[in-house]
Amino acid sequence: MFAPPRAVVRREAGLYALERTLRRRGFTTVAGADEAGRGACAGPLVIAAAVLPPGRRGEVPELADSKLLTAAARDRVYAEVVARASAYAVVVVPADEVDRRGLHRSNLDGMRRALAALDPAPTYALTDGFRVDGLGVPGLAVPKGDRVAACIAAASVLAKVTRDRMMTELHDRFPEYDFARHKGYCTEAHTEALRRYGPCPEHRLSYANVAAALAGRPDVMVVPDAGSEEVFDEAVPVPPDPFDAP
């Protein structure tokens, strides 16, 4: 039986090209999912999903990978995404749940929950970096997806801004750790605070550096592996129909 050729979307086609191509293939509602806080040793893991509408309304000013934006620019983009998105959802996984369930499992489950919460439901899902099974719709893991697909970039901004605001609130409860500055990541200042005060309830005790501080060995500075990432070869394959989806 003849199968139509697979489409290829190249990086230089721009941030919106992948979603446009999927819509032309019949996937009318393309969602993106991304997380913030995977590499932090304190605070929650935050996962977001977003669907941007087609056309000019879905072209968000300044939209980019959240890590490439200043804090002020992220706030502006966040407001635009919230105003323009056809649907969006944010899932917060507390530090103790990350400890209990594991980082990678928490991340994948959070993406499933965020995508499932979208209304209208997506007909295709793009996830940043990791394949996510059990979505009920075709999907594609996109390496460095927040720099490739607009809906993933939008999700990355939603997750990052939400988490940063939560860490600023946690700073008021635990000012000795300076969470407002480093957002729970393993900076020298954070390491020194762990050495001096030990972990607080918002630290991830399964992380080696936090466990070392708890055990009185703050000289150990290791964080969990963030997971392998596929090599991006300048082209993202797009399946011609749902049955050809990875």
**pLDDT tens profile 160-171:** 999 999 999 999
Least confident of 5-9, 50-54, 174-178, 230-234: 230-234
Q: Which residues contact 104 (CB under 8 A, 6 or more apart)?
A: 130, 227
Residue-level pLDDT at 106: 97
Mean pLDDT of 40-61: 97
**Is residue 241 predicted with pLDDT exceeding 60?**
no
**Is residue 229 predicted with pLDDT exceeding 50?**
no
Mean pLDDT of 213-217: 75
Mean pLDDT of 185-203: 94
Encoding tokens for residue 245? 């989806």
Query: How many whole angstroms separate alpha carbon 112 and alpha carbon 106?
Result: 10
Query: How many whole angstroms separate alpha carbon 83 and alpha carbon 130?
Result: 28
CATH code of the domain made up of 14-166:
3.30.420.10
Mean pLDDT of 155-164: 98
Encoding tokens for residue 17? 């090209």
What confidence tier does 217 reach under pLDDT thresholds 50, 70, 90? Answer: low
Share of the chain above pLDDT 70, in %: 83
Residue-level pLDDT at 13: 61
Residue-level pLDDT at 14: 87
Residue-level pLDDT at 239: 47
Residue-level pLDDT at 214: 84
**Is residue 221 predicted with pLDDT exceeding 90?**
no
Q: How far is CA 195 from CA 150, 199, 219, 224, 228, in A?
A: 41, 9, 9, 19, 30
What confidence tier does 246 reach under pLDDT thresholds 50, 70, 90? Answer: very low
